[in-house]
Amino acid sequence: MLSTLTALKPRALLLQLLNFALVLSTAFMMWKGLSVASNSPSPIVVVLSGSMEPAFQRGDLLFLWNRNWREDTKVGEVVVYNVRGKDIPIVHRVVRKFGGGETPLQLLTKGDNNAADDTELYARDQKYLNRKEDVIGSVVGYIPFVGYVTILLSEYPWLKTAMLAIMGVTVVLQRE
């Protein structure tokens, strides 16, 4: 199989590799474009836990919007936030809000399926979320279940390698 690659002249090999590089870079830049439009570092997230059932299930794909043009985030809105010092985004509903306007807007969140609010989940000594610093967006749309692929990919990391390898091989070997 690889003989087809090594048989290529350097120029043809560069063109062939470019195909693969362009597929990856275009996907990345489209993601970044969406980030810019929604003003969110991560405009699409996957629900990883059942804490928001029955509103959202594990594997649902959520679309986020992080601009408050007309009004501030309201109680009842579902937001995604990052806990300071941790890297996992959490999708929960706003149950209380404080401040806003001149003072920084602060939110208290709770999972629909959880018994208690999120103060336990927040960083040490943090009682509220800072809308501007902690929240990465409000949920504006979702597609059920399709995000399950990423759950599988993160639970079985070898799948990621396998997928990337298959993608690479097909793009590099396939011509037009």
CB of 33 to another protein, least distance (A): 5
Task: Tell me whether residue 18 or residue 152 sits nearer to another protein (CB atom).
Answer: 18
Catalytic entry in 51, 60, 134, 138? 51
Identify which of 80, 64, 58, 43 has the alpha carbon closest to the alpha carbon of residue 147. Answer: 58
- If one counts every other C-beta atom within 10 angstroms of the C-beta of residue 95, the result is 14
Task: Tell me whether residue 23 or residue 123 sits nearer to another protein (CB atom).
Answer: 23
HSE-up (13 A, CA, CB side) for residue 154: 9
3 binds another protein (CB under 8 A): yes
Task: Tell me whether residue 25 or residue 161 sits nearer to another protein (CB atom).
Answer: 25
- Please tell me whether residue 114 adopts helix, strand or coil conformation: coil
Peptide bond into 54 cis (omega under 30): yes
Task: Pick one of 26, 119, 154, 170: the residue that binds another protein (CB under 8 A).
Answer: 26
35 binds another protein (CB under 8 A): yes
